Chain A
Amino acid sequence: MKHSISIFWRDRENHYKLLITKCRNCGKSSYPKLKRCPYCGSTNVEVVESKGRGTLVNYTITYFRVDGSEAMLPKVIGLVKLDEGVKVPAEIVDVPDLSSLKPGLEVEAVLRKYSSDDPHGLIYYGLKFIPSIIKKQ
């Protein structure tokens, strides 16, 4: 399955940024960018950008082949709890060894290649997570 250039481009804000929906009615935050709060249904929401830091909740490993990213297998798919409170599913890369992947591991968002239509097509970029380079004090 290849990416659609037009769909990916229209959605690029969500690939390049972690956008959080904050509800002004019930006060809860959700992910991703939404027009309506999933908790109370209110449309009185604001969208804020996450600072891109959080902790690992848990992870799984996938060997599923996706066109344009075959060389990236296997992939670690994690659930990350952002410092802003919401949970985000994302790929975790630059893991020195799997035993270092423990719940609570500090992670940070980085821009990486998702896939590329080689050798002549478009390269698709978006956010993944790595174990944080600077640790929280």
Chain B
Amino acid sequence: MSRCCVKTGVVGWGAYIPLYRLRSKEIASLWGFDPNVADSIWIEEKSVASVDEDAITMGWYAAKYALVRGGVNPEDVGAVFVGTESKPYAVKPSSTVIADALGISRKKLATDLEFACRAAAEGIRLAVALVSSGSIKYGLSIGSDTAQASPGDVLELTASSGAVAFLIGPAEESVAVFEGLTTYVTDTPDFWRREGSKYPSHGEGFTGEPAYFHHIISSVTMLLEELGLKPSDFDYAIFHQPNGKFPLQVGRALGFPKEKITPGLVTPWIGNTYNASALLGLAKVLEIAKPGQRILVAPFGSGAGSDAMSLVVTDKVLDRVHKAPTVEELINRKKYVSYAEYAKSRNLILRNVG
């Protein structure tokens, strides 16, 4: 075990996917995209947050059920981190609203983190460090996004809404124990959103190889070297999922077969939930994993960086799965909406009557 994460693990997890779905073929046909574009990146439909939902409300739901699964009193939580790139307020923390609404102790650390899609993964690393140093007993990291995309941008096929929360605490109470954590970050111009811009921009040539692939391959290779493990030592591998194809491709490059990656895939059916993307995959895998199995999870955030984490599942996982809605149940709960309804609920069109 590496020194980064002594005797810490995941005590509880919670997920949230909004009810509504928009079919990617409808977006493609509206904007006149090549009809094969959705299949070529493997995206069938995406989740759409309702008009009264945002990163705070979705994060609240996921965090509530992380506490329920962990059986932890909110008063005992010493840190709340919210990783998001769609904060409802540019200035005014989301973490304090969620914490107060859940009855989490006022004596705590609370902050919103931004690093594109990997801020919540960094929140997990911070919570692990605080728990393993004895500074706090439990820490919550929440990833929640209502991802924005310019109408007509190819990004609109995938940018979706969802949340996930991980309650980090002592190994002896955990459903999965951390073995190692590595992070690899560089300055890369693959994707950004300027202050005051409603929609993000992307640096076309940078999104694939120099950003997603280089950073995930680097963080995972560092982790494998540090722990002396190889891909065959893992039962599941979960990578950030900007679409359905990239995680399979990066897995192939690293030597992980498709069968170890597909159990943690969520994006083909709900889209890219940004900070919740890979971590919803981890939640989905925890809901089927058996004690003793080893999981690799590697989120990625533009800008750019990737975290690689190795976890070993304990026997405590089994009776916690059905204490809260599972990712599978949330994926299957759905109602289709039209592009017009999506445009209204995601503020692409605004009511303009006095």
Contact = CB atoms under 8 A, between A and B. Distances in A.
A133 B64 CA distance: 14
Given A70-B351, A125-B101, A133-B330, A113 B19 contact: no
Interface string B96-122: 010011010000000000000000000
B61 A110 contact: yes
Interface of B: 19, 50-54, 56-57, 60-61, 88-89, 97, 100-101, 103, 322, 324-325, 329-330, 333, 335, 344-345, 351, 353
Given A96-B19, A113-B57, A125-B56, A133 B50 contact: no
14 contacts: A70-B351, A71-B351, A110-B61, A111-B57, A111-B61, A112-B52, A112-B53, A113-B53, A123-B54, A130-B19, A133-B325, A133-B330, A133-B333, A134-B329
B324 A72 contact: no
A134 B103 contact: no
Nearest to B60: A111
Nearest to B19: A94
B103 A49 contact: yes
Interface residues of A, number: 22
A71 B344 CA distance: 8
Given A16-B101, A134-B324, A110 B333 contact: no
A28 interface: no
Contacts of A130: 19
Contact of B97 (A49, A70, A125, A134): A125
Counting from the closest, the 3 A-B pairs by CB-CB distance are A16-B101, A111-B60, A133-B325
A123 B88 CA distance: 8
A86 B52 CA distance: 26
Nearest to B347: A71
A94 B16 CA distance: 13
Contacts of B60: 110-111
- Report which residue of B52, B54, B322, B324 has the largest number of chain A beta carbons within 10 angstroms of its beta carbon: B52
A42 B60 CA distance: 36
Interface in A110-136: 110-114, 123, 125, 128, 130, 133-134
Given A12-B100, A94-B19, A123-B89, A134 B325 contact: yes
Given A71-B344, A96-B19, A125-B97, A113 B325 contact: no
Interface string A42-56: 000000010000000
A72 B353 CA distance: 15
A87 interface: no
Given A125-B57, A125-B101, A72 B89 contact: no
B198 to A, nearest CB: 11
A88 interface: no
A65 B51 CA distance: 15
B89 A128 contact: no
Contacts of B353: 70
A112 to B, nearest CB: 4
Given A133-B333, A134-B324, A112 B100 contact: no
Contacts of B89: 123
Interface string A67-102: 001111000000000000000000001101000000
A133 B14 CA distance: 13
B217 to A, nearest CB: 37
B30 to A, nearest CB: 21
Nearest to B349: A71
B324 A112 contact: no
Contacts of B51: 71-72
Nearest to A91: B52
B351 A111 contact: no
Nearest to B329: A133
Nearest to A134: B325
A111 B144 CA distance: 14
Contacts of B101: 16-17, 111, 125
B247 to A, nearest CB: 26
Contacts of A128: 52
A96 B351 contact: no
Contact of B52 (A12, A17, A72, A134): A72
Contacts of B53: 112-113
A26 B103 CA distance: 29
A130 B60 CA distance: 14
A83 to B, nearest CB: 15
